Structure 1
Amino acid sequence: MRLHHVQLAIPAAGEDVARRFYVDGLGLTEVEKPEPLRDRGGLWLREPGVEVHLGVEEPFRPARKAHPALLLDDAAALDRTGARLEELGFEVDHTQRDTFPGYVRLHASDGHGNRVELLAPPE
């Protein structure tokens, strides 16, 4: 068994904020949703080994505890990504950096309040 994708909720008309976080900030690529699902709103994002689906949910409630954890290649990539997210105006929490054995990490809010963990092996 393998994980195919993670789905997070966004509010109606939240796609532009989501694109700034996931595409501009994390570097994921937006892919076209299948025709039967396009009218629902949201967006799909993909990179090798990672797929995130963002679906519109009303009423919207962000996932503040439950979260995807995305693995980056190294601590330098983690630091660059965290800095890029901060430059884009997203909230990034570095306080848990050394609390997960074998990794360094940070948590970020995707602009809608969903928690996203980024982690990498330490250098």
Structure 2
Amino acid sequence: MLISLHHVQLAMPQGGEAQAEAFYAGILGMTAAPKPAALAARGGIWFEAGPIRLHLGVETPFIPARKAHPAFEVADLSRVTKQLQSAGLEPKTDQDLPGIRRIYINDPFGNRIELLQQV
């Protein structure tokens, strides 16, 4: 029935596209992707990184996702943690799971993002 995950969508407040781009492209290294013309008028912004697709859609009233979240795998969590700290972010370390180290950060809108490394 299901064959793959196409994208993850998070909500953002109206007018937050520049903040989203500074965070997701500038800090996390994703690339802004064009939205279809039929959807562009709704606002929001889309990002890609290899096979990962993340869509940010405008929601009014906006409420950040504080528990539900995407989890992105990274190659070197220690290096990523240092990069995030250099950008002024304070990652929250969580309890490791068997074979997984992980941290959490919030995007500029308060949405929870997990970054993990398989070890």
1:42-81 deviation digits (Å, cap 9, x = unpaired):
11000112000001101000000000000112xxx32222
1:8-42 deviation digits (Å, cap 9, x = unpaired):
00001111211121111111111111111111111
Alignment partners' CA distance in 2, 1:86 and 1:18: 18
Q: Is the contact between residue 90 and residue 110 of structure 1 (CA under 8 Å) also seen in structure 2?
A: no
2:92 aligned with 1:87: no
Q: How does 1:49-60 map to 2 (within 5 A)?
A: 49-60=51-62
Residue 71 of structure 1 is aligned with which of 66, 70, 73? 73
Residue 106 of structure 1 is aligned with which of 62, 80, 103? 103
Residue 34 of structure 1 is aligned with which of 9, 33, 36? 36
1:70-106 deviation digits (Å, cap 9, x = unpaired):
0112xxx322222222332334212x1x422111111
Q: CA RMSD in A?
A: 1.3
Alignment partners' CA distance in 2, 1:106 and 1:65: 13
Look up the equivalent residue of 1:90 and give its one-letter code. Answer: L
Q: Which runs of 5+ in 1 are unaligned?
A: none
Normalising to structure 1: TM-score of the pair? 0.88
How many residues align? The count is 117
Alignment partners' CA distance in 2, 1:49 and 1:111: 23
2:118 aligned with 1:121: yes
Identity fraction in percent: 45
2:5 aligned with 1:6: no
Normalising to structure 2: TM-score of the pair? 0.90
1:6 positional shift: 0.1
Partner SS for 1:104: strand
Q: Is the contact between residue 9 and residue 62 of structure 1 (CA under 8 Å) also seen in structure 2?
A: yes
